[in-house]
Amino acid sequence: MKPNPSLPSADFYDHQPIRDQFPTLKQTIGDHPLCYLDTAATSQKPQAVIDAMTEYYQLNNANVHRAAHQLSTRATQQYEAVRQQVAHFIHAKHQQEIIFTHGTTESINMVAYGLTAQVQPNDLILIDTAAHHANIVPWQELAKRTGAIIKPIPLTADAQLDINAYEQLLQAKPTLVALCHVSNALGTVNPIIDLIAMAKNAGALTLVDGAQAVAHLEIDVQQMDCDFYVFSGHKMYGPTGVGILYGRFEQLNTLTPMLTGGEMIKTVSFDRTEYGELPNRLEAGTPAIAEVIGLGAAITFLQGLPREQIKAHEQLLMRYLQQQLLNLGDITLYGVSNDNSQSNIGSVAFNVANEHHQDVGILLDQQAVAIRCGHHCAMPLMSQLKLSGCCRASIGIYTNKHDIDQFIHALNTVKELLL
């Protein structure tokens, strides 16, 4: 991808009314307005999400499923309504296929633990080299328990998944393929439907980490035809501490529960315990009730927006951000194809000349620009790129052209100071 000084900067979607709903973005730090470009780490929360959680604690604070009084009834109704809402949001076939967890990491761990009895010594597990650690370490632990073998799916020189290498690995008939929908470090979008179809033809189960995709793309798990899809609330304008494990019903039903006790049981005696039906059997203990309700508010918020206009706005912002970085000079972008700059969403990974990424991040913070610096919980990917780490600027539905311009101005100041 080469600099293009003539790239137009007009025609951005006027979404100030949306931005105004995010109270965190209204603050200044020092003499500068906050420029938040770390949405890939966690998104800011609209007032509707904050209000929904506050209302639960103020008016409906009770445990779910466990009492006859009105507070518990209202809390249960709100909680279960979100399950149906999530199923509709990602086009699941049954609401019982939606399991509430504490986040993407727990969701993947639940699947990896739950499959232990089904995995045999020397079974092959394929993992995307660009995967987040949360989609690597649980499979390594599964391999330790079972004697399975882990193999990474290689990347091409421009950090795209290597389809030819993937096809060759699939000839070994893997038991499971773990993919990321969108790279958290680079924003690279995988051709997930094709990758899943290829894995299914090889007889493999598939799990997709959708944490970075769910806030930017329309998710249809039935069209995708994956066995498991996981994501977190806090990446999609909802609260922290809540996530989703979607699983095809027949696959979820075979998982050994990772946590036991509480609401997940049907009968208990000192002789034996019988687990309940889905989704209860995979939701032990008191859930994150307020967070689930907050997630429902976030979905309602997203569904009330002009998604196609916002998607076009984000694509234009990404293109503008990439080009402005390149026009600045002494900037290296990672994971952006020369012939397809639209292969990335949400995030741009870069470094400034030979300067340490942490130094760049600290100096930007002094100008109220928030980005992420480090290995982004993707150390195998950084190793492939021969990097100790990099900077990452990531956008959300509230990001506007002024944010990008403020960031570029601040980065130019950093350049002048360091180079």
Q: Is 283 in the same domain as 214?
A: yes
How far does Cα 60 stand from its chain's mean position? 30
Task: Tell me if 321 is assigned to some domain.
Answer: yes
Q: Is 217 helix (H, G, I), strand (E, B) or coil?
A: coil
* 6-25 pLDDT tens trace: 444 446 667 789 999 999 99
The Cα-based distances of 388 to 25, 256, 354 in angstroms read 31, 38, 11
* CATH number, position 343: 3.90.1150.10
130, 126, 108: which is closest to 232 by C-alpha?
108
One domain, residues 212 and 71: yes
Task: Give the residues across from 350 on adjacent strands.
Answer: 333, 391
| Contact (Cβ atoms closer than 8 angstroms) between residue 347 and residue 187 | yes
Q: Give the span between the Cα atoms of 319 and 325, in whole angstroms.
A: 10
Backbone CA torsion sign across 106, 110, 111, 116: positive
Q: Do 202 and 170 form a contact (C-beta atoms < 8 A)?
A: yes
Tens digit of pLDDT for each residue in 205-260? 999 999 999 999 999 999 999 999 999 999 999 999 999 999 999 999 999 999 99
The reply to whether 371 and 255 lie within a common domain is no
Q: What is the pLDDT of residues 358-407, one digit of tens each?
A: 999 999 999 999 999 999 999 999 999 999 999 999 999 999 999 999 99
Bond from prior residue into 279 cis (ω within 30 degrees of 0): yes
Domain of residue 120, CATH code: 3.40.640.10
Q: Which of 232, 236, 234, 198 is nearest to 217 (CA)?
A: 236
Is residue 3 pLDDT above 60, yes or no?
no
pLDDT of residue 338: 56
| Domain final residue pick, 267, 285, 303 | 303
Count the neighbouring beta carbons within 10 Å of the beta carbon of residue 203: 10
Tens digits of residue pLDDT in 321-333? 999 999 999 999 9
Task: Please give the sequence-ordered ranges of beta strands (E in DSSP) within 142-237, or none if there are none.
Answer: 149-153, 176-180, 205-209, 228-232
Beta bridge partners of 124: 149
My answer on whether 170 and 251 are in the same domain is yes
Left (φ > 0), alpha (ψ -120 to 50) or beta: where does 215 sit? Answer: alpha
Cβ contacts of residue 74 below 8 Å, gap of 6+?
59, 60, 62
- CB distance 387 to 369 below 8 Å: no
Where does a domain end: 303, 338, 356?
303
Mean pLDDT, rounded, for 71-97: 97
In a domain, 7, yes or no: no
**Is the pLDDT score of 195 beyond 60?**
yes
91 in any annotated domain: yes
Residue range of the domain that includes 257: 50-303
Residue 3 belongs to a domain: no
- Classify strands 35-36 and 369-370 as parallel, antiparallel or unpaired: parallel
> Which tokens in the block code for residue 125?
């597990």
- Looking at every residue in the chain, the average pLDDT score rounds to 94
Q: What is the rounded distance in angstroms from the CA atom of residue 4 to the CA atom of residue 24?
A: 34
Q: Do residue 275 and residue 373 come from a single domain?
A: no
Query: pTM for the full model?
Result: 0.96
Please check whether residues 87 and 24 belong to one and the same domain. Answer: no
Number of domains in the chain: 2
Last residue of a domain, one of 303, 326, 359: 303
Look at 92-96, 290-294, 312-316 and tell me which has the smallest mean pLDDT: 312-316
Residue type at position 218:
E
The DSSP code for 195 is: H
* Domain membership flag for residue 9: no
Residue 140 confidence (pLDDT): 98
Confidence at residue 2, expressed as pLDDT on a 0 to 100 scale = 53
Does residue 313 belong to any structural domain of this protein? yes
Q: Of 403 and 158, which is predicted with more confidence?
A: 403
Tell me whether residue 377 is one of the annotated catalytic residues.
Answer: yes
Same domain, 414 and 278: no
CA 267/CA 275 separation, integer angstroms:
7
Looking at residue 340, its pLDDT comes to 47
Alpha helix positions (H), 304-368: 307-328, 357-365
Pair (192, 235) in one structural domain: yes
Render pLDDT for 19-42 as a digit per residue (tens, 0 to 9): 999 999 999 999 999 999 999 999
312 and 262, same structural domain? no
Q: Which structure tokens are listed for 297?
A: 């508010």
Q: Does 100 share its domain with 174?
A: yes
Q: Is 31 exposed, middle or buried (0-12, 13-18, 19+ CB in 10 A)?
A: exposed
| CA separation for the pair 18, 399 (Å, rounded) | 10
Residue 324: what residue type?
Q
Whether 398 contacts 313, CB under 8 Å: no
Other C-beta atoms lying within 10 Å of the C-beta of residue 189? 21
Neighbour-count burial of 201, counting CB atoms closer than 10 A to its CB (0-12 exposed, 13-18 middle, 19+ buried): exposed
| DSSP-derived 3-state class of residue 211 | coil
**11 domain residue, yes or no:** no
pLDDT of residue 382: 97
Asked whether residue 387 is domain-assigned, the answer is yes
**What are the backbone angles phi and psi of residue 383, rounded to the nearest 5°?**
-65, -40
User: Is the domain of 236 the same as that of 315?
Assistant: no
**Catalytic site residue from 373, 377, 390, 391:** 377
- Looking at the structure, do residues 29 and 158 belong to the same domain, yes or no? no
Q: Give me the half-sphere count of Cα atoms (radius 13 Å) on the Cβ side of residue 209.
A: 30
